Amino acid sequence: MGSERFADLGVHHDRLQRAQEEMAREGVDVLVVGPSPDLRYLIGYAGHVSERMNLLVLPRTGDPAYVVPVLEAPRLAGLRELLGVHPWEETQTPAEVVAGVVGDVAGKTVAVGDQLWSVFLLALQEAMPDARWVSATPTLRPLRMVKDGREIELMREGARRTDDAWEEFIAAPLAGQTENEALDRLLALTHGRGLGPGFGSCGSGPNSASPHHETSDRVIQPGDAVVFDWGGTLEGYFSDVTRTIHVGEPSEEFRRVYDVVLRANQAALDAVAPGVPCEAIDEAARALIGEEGYGAAFIHRVGHGLGLDVHEEPYLVSGNATPLLAGMVFSDEPGIYLQGRFGVRVEDAVLCTDTGGERLNEATRELSIVG
Amino acid sequence: MGSERFADLGVHHDRLQRAQEEMAREGVDVLVVGPSPDLRYLIGYAGHVSERMNLLVLPRTGDPAYVVPVLEAPRLAGLRELLGVHPWEETQTPAEVVAGVVGDVAGKTVAVGDQLWSVFLLALQEAMPDARWVSATPTLRPLRMVKDGREIELMREGARRTDDAWEEFIAAPLAGQTENEALDRLLALTHGRGLGPGFGSCGSGPNSASPHHETSDRVIQPGDAVVFDWGGTLEGYFSDVTRTIHVGEPSEEFRRVYDVVLRANQAALDAVAPGVPCEAIDEAARALIGEEGYGAAFIHRVGHGLGLDVHEEPYLVSGNATPLLAGMVFSDEPGIYLQGRFGVRVEDAVLCTDTGGERLNEATRELSIVG
């Protein structure tokens, strides 16, 4: 009756305890987290993003508390073994309710979940002017970026269903459809396999050369390269794949570029192992593309962490020396973009295991030519 | 090629100028707004919410600037007549790029758009430690809460299509479907009429008594009250309607409660006129429900503003003395919730005109009994 069902309170109890250990290491006294993937990770409840303040308050020692609008409090009935619930009435000032729960913060450090809206942080800063405010990323990153067995199982299954949607998708012709129509069909096939809302983009012909192209009503034509980058969610965990296909017979140059990208994707995968710095994975793909003469056309990082957020730590980018650990999942997505002509990107989700990189995606990687 | 199409730069030029006038009134020196409905309102571009900082910087006098990841900069080509574009490279620190654009802020007041992620605000506060940081709500509220002719036209059309989906929806029986299945069908009918993603909930039987119930797999049965609260978007503007229907013949008590809610919805509408305080609309519905003996069962405010956000200013709630103005659009949604038994809510979007309230929704309001 309005209450969510929560399984595995034990898992979340452990995660909260590990967060407290990280807080101690980081010198953080209090952690506050609003509705977000961080919240879902910690307590199994994603919260309800709205103008009404919702906030997990975790002290470095002692029990967690959740400050919630009174209307939404019934949803948390199943969490009362995990945390104290503090409902606020519509006539109260929620930041003051939080300040009361937090207690004296003079000289203390409060870490704030990244996605909390600024309007709430500003209200908290006003209600607790003597605290020091920092980002919660250093505290939560070590937890979220290494996936446990259950998380890996969900991501493996999400990847499998996304791949399966792709195989059905490329069995039909594309020419004559708009980018929006083609993407809608791919997303419908993905959701039809039980995945929740994710994201998607389609760039065709010259649009394929713009990696952040907004999917348009351009009609896909013979001679086009077409890049699809999409994913869905399984219990909140994202899949994220990119495939580039060609409508009708491609040019020699397209074939060559496609082959370079495919080899760069493999080079990045081959570089994955525990202890290797994130930036070395980027460099592995970049060196190969550079040697082939397309260095200037690979205009983005090679990958990003994947999980409850579609982009999360670790980022595989020049300058990030963070060593890979077994259990990390991230994208491997080199691309070559020839402005005004075409682009190619091939992306898989990759799991770092004890012995190296393992692809979670196995959707057809060889060049597909469609009608 | 990756660039968005922007119409009506003149409209956005005017809105930016009016924002600067409000900044002067509020003593705000600089306004910063990230990807959000506020951004879409101001410049016609909603931005791309991600871990990469995107920020409109509007000084109280002078020209607006947009700080954007270099990869996303091509999307803004169509906005260069409206604002300066400042791309940042993946190896730069974007908060420092923003600080450079803003210039000296010692002793100045910077207003921050509500939905900007805290991780960005914390980075800005670190890069500009001498500024005073406040919420942008007082600056932007006067603009966003009064809709212009084009906005009203979009909201009227969005409401019409949502109503139309409802009429098709209630022509079919409900018993035997789960709440999720029924809601999916209603949303598909809504999207089938060209509306973009919005939101939705369905509560049946005892679940209907929980206004923030999470839609479940409960099977809808004869004897159930069923509350649907949903909407879609048209060019970013939300529709938002609630209807309560009954599966099979209702009890006398249900009929009575339904009638009270319907009259409370009408009483709130009748109270709408320019100059009337927001809280008086809430009070009109509350007084009627109280007189009928259900005062304790009307457990939320009567309404909220509606526009590019599904909940925005003005809030029709006790304590809000803001006077209504012609052009405001808000929900009128009284409800009565009898715990463990049933609930009834009837919601329309209402426009305040020069002469009174005008409903945008006309979906069947009399009690519908379905199979």
Structural domain that includes position B115: 9-144
Are residue B216 and residue B119 in the same domain, yes or no?
A: no
Taking an 8 Å cut-off on Cβ atoms, the answer to whether B135 and A115 are in contact is: no
Q: Is the pLDDT of residue B3 over 50?
A: no
pLDDT at A13: 95
Mean pLDDT of B324-328: 98
- Is the domain of B180 the same as that of B328? yes
Is A19 near chain B, with CB under 8 Å?
A: no
A98-147 residue pLDDT tens: 999 999 999 999 999 999 999 999 999 999 999 999 999 999 999 999 99
pLDDT computed for residue A3 by the predictor: 45
Same domain, B31 and B98: yes
Task: Among B90, B211, B319, select the one facing A91 at the smallest CB separation.
Answer: B319
Amino acid at A345: R
**Mean pLDDT, chain B, integer:** 95
Do both A161 and A27 map to the same domain?
no
Residue-level pLDDT at B7: 63
CA distance B330 to B358: 11
Residue A166 lies in a domain: yes
B366 in contact with chain A, both atoms CB, cutoff 8 A: no
Mean pLDDT of A76-98: 91
Q: For residue B267, which of B247, B249, B252, B281 has the smallest C-alpha distance? A: B281
For residues B239 and B361, membership in a common domain is answered with yes
Residue A2 lies in a domain: no
Give the model's pLDDT for residue B108.
97
Among B117, B144, B171, identify where a domain stops: B144
Q: Do A117 and B117 touch (CB under 8 A)?
A: yes
Which residues in chain B touch residue A213, judged by CB atoms under 8 angstroms apart? 1-2
Question: Is the pLDDT reported for residue B4 higher than 60?
Answer: no
pTM for the full predicted model: 0.88
CB atoms within 10 A of CB B153: 13
Answer yes or no: do B188 and B250 share one domain. Answer: yes
- Is pLDDT of A2 > 50? no
Over residues B196-212, the mean pLDDT reads 93
What is the phi/psi pair of residue A58, to 5°? -120, 110
pLDDT band at A91; cut points 50, 70, 90: confident
| A339 within some domain | yes
How many whole angstroms separate alpha carbon A10 and alpha carbon B128?
A: 42
Please check whether residue A1 lies inside any domain of the structure: no
What are the pLDDT digits (tens) for B247-275? 999 999 999 999 999 999 999 999 999 99
Of A87, A31, A83, A36, which is closest to residue A59 (Cα–Cα)? Answer: A31
Asked whether the beta carbons of A324 and A336 are under 8 A apart, the reply is no
pLDDT tens digits, A283-315 = 999 999 999 999 999 999 999 999 999 999 999
Residue A276, domain CATH: 3.90.230.10
Tell me the average pLDDT across B306-324: 95
Mean pLDDT estimate for chain A:
95
> For chain B, how many helices (H) and strands (E)?
9, 18
Q: Is the pLDDT of residue A5 over 80?
A: no
Complex-level ipTM? 0.87
In a domain, B276, yes or no: yes
Tens of pLDDT along A163-221?
999 999 999 999 999 999 999 999 999 999 999 989 999 999 999 998 888 899 999 99
The residue that leads in pLDDT, A73 or A6, is: A73
Same domain, B160 and B302: yes
The tally of domains found in chain A comes to: 2
| B220 SS3 class | coil
The answer to whether the Cβ–Cβ distance between A74 and B115 falls below 8 Å is: no
Residue B174, domain member (yes or no):
yes
Cβ neighbors of B291 (< 8 A, separation 6 or more) are none
B168 and B286, same domain (yes or no): yes
Q: Could you please report the per-residue DSSP string of B136-204?
A: SHHHHHHHHTS--HHHHHHHHHHHHHHHHHHHHHTTS--TTSBHHHHHHHHHHHHHTTT-EEEEEEEEE
* B298 bridge partner residues: none
Residue A328 maps to a domain: yes
Tokens 């922007």 -> residue: B6
- Is residue B68's pLDDT more than 60? yes
Beta bridge partners of A349: A331
Residue A243 pLDDT: 98
User: Is there a single domain that holds both residue A178 and residue A131?
Assistant: no
With contacts defined as CB-CB under 8 Å, which chain B residues touch A231? none
Q: Do B113 and B99 belong to one domain?
A: yes
User: Last residue of a domain, which of B127, B144, B161?
Assistant: B144
Rg (CA), chain B: 23
- A71 to B318: CB separation less than 8 angstroms, yes or no: no
The DSSP element (H or E) to which A370 belongs, if any, is: strand A369-370
Residues of chain A with C-beta less than 8 angstroms from the C-beta of B317 = 90
- Distance (Å) from the alpha carbon of B75 to chain A's nearest alpha carbon: 7
Same domain, B216 and B358: yes
Domain boundary among A129, A144, A159: A144
Is the Cβ–Cβ distance between B75 and B6 less than 8 Å?
Answer: no
State the CATH number of the domain containing residue B66: 3.40.350.10
Would residue B89 count as lying in a domain?
yes
Is the pLDDT confidence value at B31 over 70? yes
On whether both A99 and A241 belong to a single domain, the answer is no
- State the nearest Cα–Cα gap between A355 and chain B, in angstroms: 30
**Using a CB-CB distance cutoff of 8 angstroms, which residues of chain A are in contact with residue B318?**
90-91
